[in-house]
Every structure is written in C-alpha cells, then in structure tokens.
Amino acid sequence: MNVEASQLAWFKSSYSGNEGGECIEIAATPSTIHIRDSKDQNGPQLTTTPTSWTAFLALAATL
C-alpha cells in the first residue's frame, strides 16, 4: 500500500519537547509503520511492519 505522507496522521512522542532537536514522527497504518525526521517532513521515510516496530520498541525499552 503506497500512501502519500500528507495523507498520514503523523505524531511525535510525548517525550519530545518544542525546542527542536532530534525528534522523529510516526504514522501507523494497519500494515506499515512510517517513520520520519520531524525537522525534515519532506525528506526520506523509513517504513517497517507493525511486528518489527513492536520488537524494536521492546528492545529499546530495555536499554
């Protein structure tokens, strides 16, 4: 499923401040998690499956 970035509901982590810095935004569809740099919303995106994203978050929570 090829979805335009403008059609996605993007959100930043509640841990992200309003001062800028290194923030990512996430947009989820049933089959794909889209990830982008909040400072370059027209730049490249990383996409992954919900299963892989969940595994990544579980690993990140242990660090």
pLDDT in tens, 51-62: 999 999 999 999
Positions in the chain short of pLDDT 70? 1-5, 17-21
pLDDT at position 1, please?
46
Strand partners for 33:
28, 48
pLDDT at position 46, please?
94
> How many Å apart are CA 8 and CA 32, to the nearest integer?
11
**Total domain count, the chain:** 1
Tokens of 30: 């049933």
pLDDT at position 21, please?
66
> How many Å apart are CA 26 and CA 35, to the nearest integer?
5
> How many Å apart are CA 63 and CA 54, to the nearest integer?
15
Domain holding 55, by residue range, is: 5-62
pLDDT at position 12, please?
86
Q: Is 47 exposed, middle or buried (0-12, 13-18, 19+ CB in 10 A)?
A: middle
